[in-house]
Amino acid sequence: MQHMASELGSQMYDLARRLYPICRSITGEGVRKTLKILQESIPLEIKEVPSGTEVFDWVVPLEWNIREAWIKDEKGEKVVDFANHNLHILNYSIPYRGKLSLKALKEHIFCLPEKPDLIPYRTSYYNRNWGFCMTYEQLQTLEEGTYEVFIDATLASGCLNYGELVIPGESDEEFLLSTHICHPSLANDNLSGMVLLTHLAQAVLSRKNYYSYRFLFIPGTIGSITWLALNQGVLPRIKGGLVASLVGDPAPFHFKKSRRGNSTLDQVVQYVLEHSNFPFEILDFHPYGYDERQFCSPGIDLAVGNLTRSIFGYPEYHTSADNLDFISARDLSISYEVYLSVIQHWDCNQTYLNLSPMGEPQLGKRGLYQAIGGQSDSHEQQMAMLWILNQSDGSHTLLDVARKSGIPLFTLQKVAGILQQKKLLQRIH
């Protein structure tokens, strides 16, 4: 697998840089602004679900928007200002204005003593609270006294927004690609997922596909639960999928398998990674992480995995260190290359039936040797014919054949097309 040209990586990085300053949450103007920017690149449909909508065991929350937030000392100087970094506010803080002692203020301050120079990312989606995040170093400089606090925010009836793009293929069976869009100013988690899926959707739009592809840009957890609750009729068509997160850093690839553990999705991704020349690790499913845990919940049980570079909990995770310096155009393009390869392999991994199964069919009289003769890989293609004809009993996919024979899946796809033209094969799935 060859590394993609840097131009694509630069485009992805530039989009991440444009989105970085926006304060996103699970609802609100930040989400809508982000989706509208993505709409400039792909024909994304922006959906809205009203606050209060029951979705399985959850309820779509009130919409949160914030305009201004700061803390001033007794001199009237701002010691913390949301305008300087949107991680400074506890995400989903309720509106507040008042004066507090330093002791009382500290009850609403979040920091990381073990990482004293970093601002943490903290949320309070479902508990009414207000607060600020700052570095531990800054907290240590605050002097005793009275502090004025101002948070200009609203928590009111509104809606939850998400973006969706369905790209029809020859088959109505679908491959799902999902990423979360609810984090403010965090580059790897998860601007990287947003920009990767945006450019991946452009690639899928430009090619002829056998399968259909569904792209979701959704708030984490509540977004996937909402989508699943409102789209239960779609679920039988989804045969596999990936949740894209943490794809902009230089760590080895990590693939967390689906709950099923040995689905076609699990096999395809592992096959791609094995042939990618990039370091990787395969992880068993566990019910913690990103939205794969919703897609893999027992009542849903879709074959959806999570393909990342780092795994959550890396040193920069949910801190101000997860910034634009932490990701790179090069690593974004490498992740894009691997994801695109998964789609390409998924799309050609089909099942065939040998229409002349009583003994080996005579290939010469059908001109099959001439069809591939003189090519540098003609021997491999001849062997591919024999393998495909032998294994095409309706129960083996081309990936099965590739694993048994050692012949690349793309070669098998090409040869299967030739055998179809000669009326020796019928695609059944």
CA distances from residue 179 to 248, 306, 396 in whole angstroms, order as listed: 13, 10, 31
Buried b (16+ CB within 10 A) or exposed e, 117-145: ebbbbbbbbeeeebbbbbbbeebeebeee
Domain residue spans in the chain?
Answer: 6-61+159-348, 63-156, 351-427
* Beta carbons within 10 angstroms of residue 341's beta carbon: 19
Cβ atoms 353, 394 nearer than 8 A: yes
* Three-point CA angle 104, 110, 115, nearest 5°: 135
Nearest CA to 108 out of 127, 44, 204 is that of: 127
CA distances from residue 285 to 103, 296, 298, 305 in whole angstroms, order as listed: 44, 9, 13, 8
Class of domain 63-156: alpha beta
Identical fold between 6-61+159-348 and 63-156: no
pLDDT value of position 366:
80
Beta-strand ranges (E) seen in 77-157 are: 78-81, 96-101, 109-110, 132-133, 146-156
* Three-point CA angle 321, 322, 328, nearest 5°: 115
State how far the Cα of 177 lies from the Cα of 243, in Å rounded to an integer: 6
To the nearest 10 degrees (0 to 180), the angle between helices 329-348 and 192-205 is 40
Specify the CATH number of the domain 351-427. Answer: 1.10.10.10
Beta-strand ranges (E) seen in 158-247 are: 159-167, 174-180, 212-218, 238-244
Cβ atoms 423, 355 nearer than 8 A: yes
Class of domain 6-61+159-348: alpha beta
**Segment 72-114, tens digit of pLDDT:** 999 999 999 999 999 999 999 999 999 999 999 999 999 999 9
Nearest CA to 187 out of 307, 87, 254, 297 is that of: 87
Mean pLDDT by 10 residues, the chain (429 residues): 71 98 98 98 98 98 98 97 98 98 98 98 97 98 97 98 98 98 97 98 97 98 98 98 98 98 97 96 96 98 98 96 98 98 96 93 77 61 92 94 95 93 91
pLDDT value of position 370:
60
Cβ atoms 347, 211 nearer than 8 A: yes
pLDDT value of position 375:
56
CA distances from residue 409 to 202, 401, 402 in whole angstroms, order as listed: 24, 8, 5
